[in-house]
Amino acid sequence: MLSHIKKYSAAALMAVAAVALFAYTSVYAQTITDTPTLNVSISPDTPPSQTFLPSTKNVTFATFSFAALNADIRIAKITFTFTGTALTNTSVSNIRLWDETGSTLTTPVSSPIDSNNQVIFYDLRGVISKDTVKKIRLVGDITENPGEGTVMFSINQQSHIIAYKGDTVENPITPSGTFPIKGNVMTIVSDPTTNKPPVITGVSGPTSLKVNETGTWTITANDPEGGALTYTIDWGDSTSFPTPISPPAILNSGQKATFTHSYAQAGTYTVSFTVTDDKGASAKSTITTAVTDELLPDLKPVKLEITNPSRTGNEIWKAGDRLSVAIGIKNIGSAQTPTKVSYTVNLGFVQLESETPTTLKPQEVYESLHTVTLQSDITKTFNATLTADQSYASTGWTPIKETDETNNALAIVLIIGKENTPPVITGVSGPTSLKVNEEGKWIINANDPEGGLFTVTADWQDGSTPEFPTGTSTIAFHHRYTSTGNYSITFTVTDDKGASAKSTVSVNVINIDASNVIVISPTWTDAWQIGYEYNILWTYPKELANKKVNVFVLALPYPSYESQGTIIFQKDGVTAPSPDLAGEVIGNTMWKIPASIKTGQYNVQVQVTAVDTGKFYDDLSDLFSIVQSPTINQPAITRITPTSGAPGTVLTIYGKNLQDDCGKREERVCQLTISLGGYEIKRDRFVEFKVTWAQDRITLVVPPKAQTGAVRIMRVDSEYKDKSYDIMGPVFTVANKIFPGIVCEVKIPENVIIIDSYVDVGQGNSAYWIKNGGTLKTGAGSNKFFIENGGKKFGGGGSHTAYVKKGGSFDGEGGSSNLIYYEEGANITNPGGSSEMKKCGQITFTSSSTITTPPTTTQIRDTARTLHADNIDALLAEIKLLRSQVREQETKIKYLEKLTSGAQEISQKTEEQLNTFIAYGVDENTKRLGTGERAAVLHSFKSAFNKLPESEDELNDAILIANGKWPKARSEEAEARAEKEFKRIYKREAVMDNQNDNAAITVMAYGLRQRAENRNLKSETQGIKTFKHIYGHVPQTTEEWNLMQGITYSGATAKQ
């Protein structure tokens, strides 16, 4: 097919017939008398101008004549050659050759003809008889308006080879002058009276779109004859959309049509427009559009809370009331909002408008807290709404499309109309007496008639910070008093609308070191069952040790003494015992609670009179409960197996309703004891003797010191009192055999303190895991030590339990009574006079995954770098916290504004970094310190260096301080202040080569924090006492608390 022939060279479209004739192999008996000749001619010789219509079929361009003279001529092949011409807007196609009978002799040519390009498209074979003529017509189609042009034909005589019939050999025939064909020209012109196709004068449309975005295309066209046009669009995505348009009012003017379309998939699409007139003529044009995927945001309000009123119609809002409005907006789409998000809170009587401080990432929630002060009383119903407006681009405020624009509002109903009723306190319970530093627990039962939340404030009357827990029914408080006295505790319950109720109770706090009898059991958490036997314990004044005394013990009902009480024990001339390992003189008596006693609350009163001096001593126990014993499902021991065996034997105690093994609850809350002939195994040694505890059986390894006697199980559960019991079983006989070494499987408690450097903790009652070459110095107390290879513990006094692996070291330095488990190769020195040594074949430590290892200085540097780079999301992800705008605002108001007061001017970036540190912490340790402690770290830094941390190095020092590590930078001014206070406390100069003195100066100067798990509240209580003795008041400022920390944890003493 010949198509789209445009302007070429001046050469005309030509057909050149080159005839090749070859010898015919057959021999004919014909005598040739004249010279054979092939005469080739073309007609017309000089063609005139001819007019052709568009889409004209079977146009005859020329006719070739082949005449055989004087002989039959065999034609082997004819080749036609075409040369281009200057035809405008012409497509000549389907060139064909026809013989004189009209039969097609060849397949049409289907490609354009370039200048001087020869195309063989006809092969004529056969014989032209003598004196006859064979005619061939060159025929083609005109498929478009040809305009004007010429067709030229010529022939090259030198290209012919012929042979004639009758010879036995090839006889070439050279053409004679019978070829007159040359310079033949045919002119082709248009017919002005025929239809003309429409003309497209313009196409416009988007070159790029997003998936599902609608685009608009415009095409302008006209019909030369002024007829109606029809438009057909192929969008390139298998969608066609033809639209007819009527003729315009003014003929021959441009017609404009507009089309819209959207694409469901990304890709590059070619849009093809076809314009067709009313006679079938048409024109085409194309345009290309690139379609890309787009991720869209989607704003959805997820929180609207008004925290002063309720929605139940139980209040009236008064003028001047302050309402707290908490809102939350979430981007639930798949793209970040391009700018900040505007939002409106409409409460029905007031409207708030604001915007988020930043853009919102996908799935990110923005929370904010607003305060509204009412201008007048309100007593009707409102619909409160939160509307998150569309996100806007910064230029021109053009709205950005969302995935879903129908979910941008959240509504709640507010019903107002009744005066608020104050909360009601239904009960307050707690101890009536405590010892100094003994923890008490108070329970407040209250309710809000409107069903709202209430806050309880406890004023302890000792200068401590009030507490503000929130609840709906029951609130529990824990508190310790550091000095003696009779305290009136006021509990204030305030509802969420400001109404309140109060209740006051009293507690008498006495000094445990007072020269008096002190009842230590029962305690106020105990619930003793009728019919069971319990042990009453008290301490004698130390001056009564080994002396004769008269003892009188009573159970007194509370609160009204309806009788003189029930006598529990009465005996004269009793010899008080010797001091125990802790120096205490402990008295006791067993009391089986009689069936005749009434249930309720009681005190145990112990009265002691010294026989030699006649001095009288008296004390009341905490309030405790006497309860009725359950009549069903009583715990019981049914049998044991075996009934005898040597130490190391596995003993199984069968029973019923033996309850659980207390789980992870502290021993002070749930204490379990197994007694074999009076030798007791408590929970802290269950791992050592492989105790397993189930409802129907208990198994254990018989200890080396077990005695022959009855098996006894005691469970004291202060949280679930109905699970407490004390039961006896059959006798187990201990055979006289040597106890073999066993594998000691030791479970390290979750509250263990990891020691991996030198630490001096003084006295206390904690658990320490000494590893990685750590060294621990301790004083008196009752601690547990888990000592790995290379770990070392030293320091005297106290009664401790130690597990020492091979290569570990334990130096008791004269401790009074230690229990030491050790492997072969452990270094044990000065274990203590009455200490017990137990060799284990192997000691294995197992620990909970919740025990955290202190961060290294390299890890702290990485954390500082991340914080300084504002990569807050990464920090929070590391410590498993979610970001909260409300939390950050509260932190900024409560801590940061005070902290920045009087400090150097800091950038917004630094302010956000410091606020992040206070609000969340930056590692597991600082996360556990609490917001107040983290704010104190920054205050200590500010006090030491007269500025807040800004650079990466300064942030690194602040985090080191928070983790109890020495900062890299030093402040001579701060250390000089610390040395002055050191001298005031210890009455001597600090010696910086002494590691304890050095630690004291560093803690006091820079405020080094104890790691959260290393805090020892008992030691800090003593430190507060020491501070108060020196300074006359308890610590109040951050600097004073730093001094107290130095006193408590440095190990420095008045003696160098």
DSSP, residue by residue, 605-633: EEEEEETTT--EEEEEPPPEEEEPPPSSS
Read off the pLDDT of residues 96-148 as tens digits, 9 standing for 90 and up: 666 655 555 554 444 344 333 334 344 455 677 778 887 777 666 655 444 44
Q: What is the mean pLDDT of residues 795-816?
A: 81
pLDDT value of position 19: 31
Q: What's the CA gap between 122 and 783, in Å, rounded?
A: 114
pLDDT value of position 729: 85
Residue 7 has pLDDT above 50, yes or no: no
Residue 247 has pLDDT above 70, yes or no: no
The residue out of 453, 488, 508 marking a domain boundary is 508
Read off the pLDDT of residues 526-584 as tens digits, 9 standing for 90 and up: 788 888 888 898 989 888 999 999 999 999 887 654 456 888 999 999 999 988 766 77
Q: Is position 658 within any domain?
A: yes
Per-residue pLDDT band for 656 (boundaries 50, 70, 90) equals confident
Per-residue pLDDT band for 277 (boundaries 50, 70, 90) equals confident
Share of the chain above pLDDT 70, in %: 73
Helix (H, G, I), strand (E, B) or coil at 920: helix
Per-residue pLDDT band for 83 (boundaries 50, 70, 90) equals very low
Q: How many CA atoms lie within 13 A of 341 on its CB side?
A: 30
Per-residue pLDDT band for 469 (boundaries 50, 70, 90) equals low
Read off the pLDDT of residues 371-404 as tens digits, 9 standing for 90 and up: 888 777 776 667 778 778 755 544 445 566 777 7
Q: What is the mean pLDDT of residues 925-951?
A: 88
Pair (394, 456) in one structural domain = no
pLDDT value of position 808: 93
The residue out of 168, 189, 210 marking a domain boundary is 189
CATH number of the domain encompassing residue 567: 2.70.50.50
**What burial letters (b/e) apply to 648-669, b meaning 16+ CB within 10 Å?**
bbebebbbeebbebbeebeeee
pLDDT value of position 102: 55
pLDDT value of position 323: 80
Joined together, the tokens standing for residue 1028 give 């108060």
> Which position has the token pair 């100094």?
436
Read off the pLDDT of residues 706-717 as tens digits, 9 standing for 90 and up: 888 889 999 988
pLDDT value of position 848: 60
Read off the pLDDT of residues 852-867 as tens digits, 9 standing for 90 and up: 667 888 889 989 999 9
Q: What's the CA gap between 363 and 337, in Å, rounded?
A: 11
- The angle that helices 972-986 and 1017-1031 make with each other, rounded to 10 degrees, is 80
Residue 216 vs residue 886, higher pLDDT: 216
Q: Which range, of 11-20, 482-491, 666-675, averages the lowest pLDDT?
A: 11-20
By the 8 A CB rule, do 235 and 217 touch?
Answer: no
Candidate ranges 370-374, 743-747, 769-773; pick with highest mean pLDDT: 769-773
> Which position has the token pair 């006809």?
122
> Which position has the token pair 């556990």?
928
Pair (826, 773) in one structural domain = yes
Q: What's the CA gap between 513 and 1005, in Å, rounded?
A: 34
The residue out of 847, 881, 908 marking a domain boundary is 847
Domain count, the chain: 8
Q: What's the CA gap between 757 and 202, in Å, rounded?
A: 83
Q: Is position 852 within any domain?
A: no
Pair (880, 1021) in one structural domain = yes
pLDDT value of position 713: 93
Q: What's the CA gap between 533 and 522, in Å, rounded?
A: 12
Q: What is the mean pLDDT of residues 1033-1044?
A: 86
Element (H, E) at 943: helix 931-945
CA-to-CA separations, 912 to 51, 904, 977, in angstroms, rounded: 87, 15, 31
Name residues whose C-beta falls within 8 Å of residue 1033's C-beta, 6 or more positions apart in sequence.
none
- Report the Cα 128 to chain-centroid distance in Å: 96
Pair (245, 331) in one structural domain = no
Domain hosting 224: range is 199-292
pLDDT value of position 914: 92
Q: What's the CA gap between 223 and 255, in Å, rounded?
A: 9
Pair (575, 723) in one structural domain = no
By the 8 A CB rule, do 512 and 583 touch?
Answer: no
Helices and strands in the chain, H and E counts: 12, 66
Q: Is position 4 within any domain?
A: no
Residue 155 has pLDDT above 60, yes or no: no
Pair (406, 438) in one structural domain = no
Q: Is position 5 within any domain?
A: no
By the 8 A CB rule, do 948 and 961 touch?
Answer: no
pLDDT value of position 955: 94
pLDDT value of position 379: 64
Q: Is position 472 within any domain?
A: yes
Residue 688 has pLDDT above 80, yes or no: yes
Helix (H, G, I), strand (E, B) or coil at 186: strand
Residue 359 has pLDDT above 80, yes or no: yes
Sign of CA dihedral 1041, 1047, 1050, 1054: positive
Counting every residue written for the chain, the total comes to: 1056
Termini Cα distance of the chain = 113
Read off the pLDDT of residues 404-456 as tens digits, 9 standing for 90 and up: 778 888 887 776 665 567 888 888 888 887 777 777 888 888 888 777 777 88
Pair (69, 159) in one structural domain = yes
Radius of gyration of the CA atoms of the chain, in A: 54
- Burial (CB < 10 A; 0-12, 13-18, 19+), residue 672, is buried
- For the chain, the maximum distance between any two Cα atoms, rounded to a whole number of angstroms, is 182
Residue 777 vs residue 882, higher pLDDT: 777
CATH number of the domain encompassing residue 236: 2.60.40.10
Q: What's the CA gap between 627 and 601, in Å, rounded?
A: 9
Q: Is position 7 within any domain?
A: no
Pair (156, 281) in one structural domain = no
Pair (316, 435) in one structural domain = no
Q: If you average pLDDT over every residue of the chain, what do you get?
A: 75
Q: Which range, of 46-60, 65-79, 734-748, 801-815, averages the lowest pLDDT?
A: 46-60
Pair (995, 881) in one structural domain = yes
Pair (155, 23) in one structural domain = yes
Q: What is the mean pLDDT of residues 155-174?
A: 44
pLDDT value of position 185: 46
Helix (H, G, I), strand (E, B) or coil at 904: coil
Name residues whose C-beta falls within 8 Å of residue 513's C-beta, 6 or more positions apart in sequence.
none
Q: What is the mean pLDDT of residues 46-67?
A: 60
Q: Is position 3 within any domain?
A: no
Residue 45 has pLDDT above 70, yes or no: no
Pair (528, 429) in one structural domain = no
Name residues whose C-beta falls within 8 Å of residue 725's C-beta, 6 or more positions apart in sequence.
529, 532, 634, 635, 659, 713, 714, 715
Q: What's the CA gap between 787 and 772, in Å, rounded?
A: 10
Q: Which range, of 401-410, 500-509, 800-809, averages the lowest pLDDT?
A: 401-410
Q: Is position 1056 within any domain?
A: no
Q: What is the mean pLDDT of residues 903-930?
A: 87
Per-residue pLDDT band for 742 (boundaries 50, 70, 90) equals low
DSSP, residue by residue, 515-545: SS-EEEES-TT-EEETT-EEEEEEEE-GGGT
CA-to-CA separations, 923 to 448, 612, 616, 962, in angstroms, rounded: 40, 63, 57, 10
Read off the pLDDT of residues 954-973 as tens digits, 9 standing for 90 and up: 999 999 998 888 899 999 99
Q: What's the CA gap between 434 and 520, in Å, rounded?
A: 10
